[in-house]
Amino acid sequence: MAGHDHIQALHQDPAYIKWNNMMVNRHKYFRWTPRTARITFIYVVAVPAVLGTLGYMTDGKWNMRGKRRGDLISEF
């Protein structure tokens, strides 16, 4: 219906096909380098540690529930 039987009706860009094949097979060509190890450490260890520390340090310091204009939000 409505022309769906023409699979390759449009010309495909060779650069896009090459990029798509690279994205699909990226796991085959991955290598651990100092740069990839550093980026992985930052996103797997450093960012969650910093966010967890900030969350732990500020836990319970502010209460937004039931406040009116002029009331303080700090609880310490």
Q: What is the pLDDT of residues 17-72, one digit of tens each?
A: 999 999 999 999 899 999 999 999 999 999 999 999 999 998 888 777 777 887 77
Token pair for 22? 């690279």
Is this structure's pTM higher than 0.75?
no
- Going by pLDDT thresholds of 50, 70 and 90, the confidence category of residue 11 is confident
Give the phi and the psi of residue 36 in degrees, each rounded to 5.
-70, -35
pLDDT exceeds cutoff 60 at 1: no
Region of 67 on the Ramachandran plot (φ > 0 left; ψ -120 to 50 alpha; else beta): beta
- Amino acid, res. 22: M
